[in-house]
């Protein structure tokens, strides 16, 4: 019989042949499977039951046309996707991304990561992801509404509160969820509040869902720092992105006495020597839907950079919260040279494969996205619980539950790291192994489906 590593390599070879050119998907699967040799050695039954071969194959992939008409009457066609990856632990759950880079590969990588992230939350949710190559930038509110209605018209036959529950991701926030919920309700003729999460607070949304990913990310990083006797008080932090995850990470950092000094969007990045002015950033991004350059015009302590890297700034903690592959090997080496203590991923796969290797070979505390950014989907699951019970829990109640879930995810990572590699701080192996075992056990119980 081949060794566990040889077996993993053969599954990866098969994956590459069956999904040619889907590089992001290959990278995400490789990142998980590369951690699993010690797990397969301790649980031979996973190999006998072909868990790896099954888990890398989505249960269902839906691909649909999304036609829409702009304000000038011009016709456009985008692609819609939903990958229903794994339902061993519950109905498919995961966000929708609207961004021009969206492809089958991107949605499959995100859906695959989502399986294990959702498992780590301890909630009853399977893994899925969807989206479109539609670019929301510069579109009018009416264009966004028409696009969301057309997208939902293609998607609605496949989702439902017991089946598949989408939410937001890049380019999809409260406004888009509102338009999609309205169209779903109209198409099915009933108010099924549990079909989407991230809803408005007046019609079934949960308190803290907007903040959850950022707050959860900072809570997870706080737990990592605590293992080395440190906290956030007085730490300088670089955050990238300036969307939902970045903004609420900055909010939580400020409340813990840290000093966030940067943020970015696709037009550049900002360094603010006085620390980020959160009210100004929120006004520009959430109200005006403006660019990061607008911030610099109104804030004398801030500078805009468009050529160098945001990761050149010397900081104690770095939180990449924009998108995949925004932090490469060279950036990782620069951060380490400048003395970074912890790096935790608000975005999904922001660190490329070389960057992960660099962090793994160093002393830096490195928290991968599937553990560190799981707070968003965790509170989505709490939103589903509130919807089923027709309740609305208080802010404190949801915030407390989120904090406990992030502490628990951290503990699972540390314990699995200790169990499978003999040290507590390999969060890559820890998160992959802990999430995988939970999914594998459920798949075994449910038979060859
Ligand atoms: P938003 O759309 O709210 O914000 C995305 C931010 O990232 C924007 O500032 C955007 O800038 C920037 N960005 C996006 N793509 C690029 C790019 N190609 N190059 C440079 N900057 C880019 O999304 P979120 O904050 O929700 O998501 C950010 C990350 O967090 C994603 O990786 C997402 O998958 C992940 N995540 C989100 C969760 C959630 O609950 N929302 C949960 C867990 C993870 P610009 O406007 O210029 O494009
Ligand atoms: O990547 C993610 O975890 C999300 N975009 C959130 C998914 C969700 O269902 O809340």
Query: Do residues 71 and 48 both lie within one domain?
Result: no
- Pocket perturbation via mutation, ligand 1, pick of 108, 113, 243, 276 by most ligand atoms within 8 A of CB: 243
Element housing 177 (H / E): helix 174-188
Whether 339 is covered by a domain: the verdict is: yes
Report the 3 state secondary structure along 115-170: HHHHHHCCCCCEEEEEEECCCCCCCCHHHHHHHHHHHHHHHHHHCECCCEEEECEC
Residues 308 and 164 grouped into a single domain: no
pLDDT band at 325 (very low <50, low <70, confident <90, very high): very high
Rounded to an integer, the average pLDDT of 204-213 is 98
Across the range 5-20, mean pLDDT stands at: 98
Pocket test residue of 102, 131, 169, 270 for ligand 1, highest count of atoms within 8 A of CB: 169
The answer to whether residue 244 sits within a structural domain is yes
Nearest-atom number in ligand 1 for the CA of 198 is 40
Looking up residue 288, the CATH number of its domain turns out to be 3.40.50.720
Ligand 2 pocket, 367 CB below 6 A? Answer: no
Which residues are designated catalytic? Answer: 129
Please tell me whether residues 73 and 148 are part of one structural domain: yes
Ligand 1 within 6 A of CB of 322: yes
With tokens 């339902």, the residue in question is 87
Q: At what angle do helices 375-389 and 209-226 cross, to 10 degrees?
A: 130
pLDDT band (50, 70, 90) for residue 1: confident
Q: Determine whether the shortest distance from the Cβ of 170 to ligand 1 is under 6 A.
A: yes
What is residue 393's predicted lDDT score, i.e. its pLDDT? 98
Same structural domain, 91 and 18: no
pLDDT surpassing 90 at residue 449: yes
Q: Which residues pair with 97 in a beta bridge?
A: 131
Q: Report the pLDDT value the prediction gives residue 41, as an integer from 0 to 100.
A: 97
Whether residue 169 has its Cβ less than 6 Å from ligand 2: yes
Domain identity same for 233 and 357 = yes
Q: Is the pLDDT of residue 103 over 90?
A: yes
Measured CA angle at 372 (ends 366, 375), to 5 deg: 170
| Ligand 2 atom closest to residue 374's alpha carbon, by position in its atom list | 3
Q: How far apart (Å, rounded) are the C-alpha atoms in residues 313 and 316? A: 10
Shared-domain flag, residues 363 and 218: yes
The CATH number of the domain holding residue 87 is: 3.40.50.10860
Sheet arrangement for strand 92-98: 60-69, 75-86, 126-132, 92-98, 164-167
Answer yes or no: is 435 within a domain: no
Tell me: pLDDT of 49 over 90.
Answer: yes
Average pLDDT for 393-412 = 98
- Over residues 276-298, the mean pLDDT reads 97
Asked if residue 241 has its Cβ within 6 Å of ligand 1, the reply is yes
Beta-sheet pairing, 236-239 with 259-265: parallel
Among the bound ligands, name the one nearest to the CA of residue 118.
2
Determine what percent of the chain is predicted with pLDDT higher than 90.
100
- The best mutation among 132, 197, 265, 267 to test binding of ligand 1, ranked by most ligand atoms within 8 Å of the C-beta, falls on 265
What is the Cα–Cα distance from 204 to 388, expressed in whole angstroms? Answer: 10
How many residues appear in the chain?
A: 449
Picking from 344, 372, 400, the residue at the C-terminal end of a domain is 372
Ligand 1 centre to CA of 361 (Å) is 28
Which one, of 333, 391, 282, 324, lies nearest residue 169 by Cα? 324
Name the residue with the closest Cα to ligand 2, atom 9. 94
CA of 241 to the centre of ligand 1 (A): 6
Residue 259 phi/psi, 5-degree rounding, is: -120, 95
The per-residue pLDDT for 151 is 99
- Band the pLDDT of 189: cuts 50, 70, 90: very high
Please work out whether the CB of residue 377 comes within 6 Å of at least one atom of ligand 2. yes
In a domain, 87, yes or no: yes
How many whole angstroms from 68 Cα to the centroid of ligand 1?
24
Q: Which of 372, 398, 420 is the last residue of a domain?
A: 372
Q: Give yes or no: residues 245 and 323 share one domain.
A: yes
What residues contact residue 148 under an 8 Å CB cut-off, 6+ apart?
176, 179, 180, 183
Q: Which pLDDT belongs to residue 25? A: 98
> Can you give the residue range of the structural domain that contains 43?
4-55
Tens of pLDDT, residues 114-148: 999 999 999 999 999 999 999 999 999 999 999 99
pLDDT band at 28 (very low <50, low <70, confident <90, very high): very high
Does ligand 1 have an atom closer than 6 angstroms to the CB of 131?
no
**Whether 241 and 344 share a structural domain:** yes
Q: Do 242 and 163 share a domain, yes or no?
A: no
Burial of 361 (0-12, 13-18, 19+ CB in 10 A): exposed
pLDDT classification of 331: cutoffs 50, 70, 90: very high
Pocket lining: 380 vs ligand 2, CB cutoff 6 Å:
yes
The candidate with the shortest Cα–Cα distance to 435, out of 127, 220, 60, 130, is 127
Residue 328 within any structural domain of the chain: yes
Tell me if 121 CB under 6 Å of ligand 2. Answer: no
- Is the CB of residue 100 below 6 angstroms from any atom belonging to ligand 1? no
Rounded CA separation 47/50 (Å): 5
Last residue of a domain, one of 343, 372, 401: 372
The predicted model gives 294-305 an average pLDDT of 98
End-to-end CA distance of the chain: 25
Is there a single domain that holds both residue 262 and residue 300? yes
Q: Is 321 helix (H, G, I), strand (E, B) or coil?
A: coil
CA of 136 to the centre of ligand 1 (A): 13
Torsion of Cα atoms, 268 then 280 then 324 then 429, to 10°: 130
Residue 431 has pLDDT above 90, yes or no: yes
Confidence of residue 239 (pLDDT cuts 50, 70, 90): very high
CA 410/CA 23 separation, integer angstroms: 29
| Predicted local confidence at residue 95, as pLDDT | 98
Whole-number mean pLDDT of the chain? 98
pLDDT at 344 > cutoff 90: yes
> 422 in a domain, yes or no?
no
For residue 423, pLDDT over 90 is answered with: yes
In a domain, residue 284? The reply is: yes
Quick check: 182 pLDDT over 90? yes
**C-alpha 426 – ligand 1 centre gap (Å):** 26
**Whose CA is closest to atom 32 on ligand 1?**
347
Ligand 2 center to 369 CA (angstroms): 11
Instruction: Tell me, using a 6 A CB cutoff, whether residue 168 lines ligand 1.
Output: yes
Same-domain pairing of 317 and 264: yes
Identify whether residues 98 and 232 lie together within a single domain: no
Q: Model confidence at 398, in pLDDT bands (50, 70, 90)?
A: very high
Query: For position 357, what pLDDT does the model report?
Result: 98
Ligand nearest to the CA of 114: 2
Strand partners, 319: 239
Q: How confident is the model at residue 54, as a pLDDT?
A: 98
Of the listed ligands, the closest to the CA of 217 is 1
Number of domains within the chain: 3
Structure tokens at 180: 């999609």
pLDDT digits (tens, 9 = 90+) for 349-366: 999 999 999 999 999 999
Report CA(172)–ligand 1 centroid distance (Å).
9
Q: Is residue 172 part of a domain?
A: yes
Relative to the alpha carbon of 327, which ligand is closest? 1
């Amino acid at each position: 019989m081949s060794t566990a590593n040889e077996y993993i390599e053969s599954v990866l070879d098969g994956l590459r042949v069956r999904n040619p050119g889907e590089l992001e998907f290959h990278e995400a699967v490789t990142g998980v499977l590369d951690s699993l040799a010690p797990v397969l050695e301790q649980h031979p039954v996973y190999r006998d039951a072909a868990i790896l071969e099954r888990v890398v194959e989505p249960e269902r992939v839906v691909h649909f046309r999304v036609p829409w008409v702009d304000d000038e009457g011009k016709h456009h066609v985008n692609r819609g996707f939903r990958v229903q990856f794994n339902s061993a632990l519950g109905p498919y759950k995961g966000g929708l991304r609207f961004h021009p880079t969206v492809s089958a590969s991107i949605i499959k990588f995100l859906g695959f990561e989502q399986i294990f992230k959702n498992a780590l939350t301890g909630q009853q949710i399977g893994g899925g992801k969807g989206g479109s190559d539609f670019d929301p930038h510069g579109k009018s509110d009416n264009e966004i509404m028409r696009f969301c209605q057309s997208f939902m018209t293609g998607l609605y036959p496949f989702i439902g509160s017991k089946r598949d529950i989408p939410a937001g991701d890049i380019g999809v926030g409260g406004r888009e969820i509102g338009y999609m919920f309205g169209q779903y309700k109209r198409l099915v003729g009933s108010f099924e509040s549990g079909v989407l999460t991230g809803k408005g607070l007046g019609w079934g949304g949960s308190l803290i869902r907007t903040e959850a990913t950022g707050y959860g990310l900072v809570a997870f990083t706080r737990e990592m720092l605590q293992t080395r006797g440190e906290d956030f008080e007085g730490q300088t932090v670089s955050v990238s992105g300036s969307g939902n995850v970045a903004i609420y990470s900055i909010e939580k950092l400020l409340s813990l006495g840290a000093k966030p000094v940067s943020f970015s969007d696709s037009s550049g990045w900002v360094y603010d020597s006085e620390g980020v002015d959160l009210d100004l950033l929120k006004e520009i991004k959430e109200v005006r839907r403006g660019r990061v350059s607008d911030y610099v015009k109104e804030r004398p302590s801030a500078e805009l950079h468009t050529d160098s890297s945001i990761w050149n700034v010397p900081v104690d903690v770095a939180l990449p919260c924009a998108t995949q592959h925004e932090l490469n090997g060279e950036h990782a080496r620069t951060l380490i040279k400048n003395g970074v203590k912890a790096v935790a991923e608000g975005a999904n796969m922001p660190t490329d494969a070389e960057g992960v290797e660099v962090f793994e070979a160093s002393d830096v505390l490195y928290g991968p996205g599937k553990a560190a950014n799981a707070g968003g989907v965790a509170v989505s699951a709490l939103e589903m619980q509130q919807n089923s019970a027709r309740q609305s829990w208080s802010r404190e109640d949801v915030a407390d539950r989120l904090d406990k879930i992030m502490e628990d995810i951290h503990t699972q990572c540390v314990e699995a790291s200790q169990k499978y590699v003999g040290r507590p701080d390999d969060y890559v192996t820890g998160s992959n192994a802990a999430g995988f075992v939970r999914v594998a056990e459920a798949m075994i119980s449910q038979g060859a489906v």
